[in-house]
Structure 1
Amino acid sequence: MGTRGPVGKRSDQRLGHRTKAEQEAVTKVPLGGGSPPAEEPEESWHPIAQRWFRSLGESGQRVFYEASDWATARYVAEAMSRNLEAGRFSAQLFAAVMSGMSSLLTTEGDRRRVRVELERAVQTDADEEAAVAALDEWRERLSG
């Protein structure tokens, strides 16, 4: 782990000058928009495995997923389900599941390691915009 922790900072949190190559090394994916269709979990899986698998289709990294990634996710969810339903929890199987989840970039730390950042679209509230416009109009009347 080093003195900076397990993962680096997001690109917008880094200070100082960076080379053009360092700035271009980050792949940013805006959330929302076109993405491949998500697959559905197996009904026989443990509810936690189903929830995890469903979350992959709702997460931003899904835009990178190909058929082989969905197959990997299905395998990881199956292993997760078997471990959760087993009479005795297997630490070795848990480690394998976590490794598979990491390969699918399911956590912020996993994505930072491969320099992928998910950005949420800024949503503006119509009422908020109307309030700002009203304040601007009021300021103009006071100054004029």
Structure 2
Amino acid sequence: MGTYFPDLRGYGGADAFLRACKPRSVLGMFSNKWTGLAMGALLDGPRRFNELRRMLDGITQKMLSQTLRTLERDGLVTRTVYPTIPPRVDYELTDLGRSAIGALRAMGEWAGEHADQVIAARKVYDERAAQPVKAV
């Protein structure tokens, strides 16, 4: 099954390839590109919603709200509302959120190291896919 997702069923554990696997449901939260970017934007401390929106180029207000709500639900971010007019809301990583940063940083480093290769592979694939099918 591989190094990262071992089959632990024989030992009373889970198999990440099974739908009911708890770690699988947690891994799913990192499949959204905005999750890692929002968490990265919170590395230096609390930020307000509009500050995050300006930092995350291309994110819509709706997607940022949804992402932050999910991160809060999963215990990775806290939301603090201050009783001011207008209300001030800060978002901050929790200890659990900070504990995931190493894994996110590793994925970001991999992406940085291999972006050119992935983009080149996409171009080759797209060019090949645009060609008419040839009979064999």
Q: TM-score, normalised by structure 1?
A: 0.22
Higher strand share: 2
Larger radius of gyration: 1
Q: TM-score, normalised by structure 2?
A: 0.23
Higher relative contact order (CA 8 A, sep 6+): 1
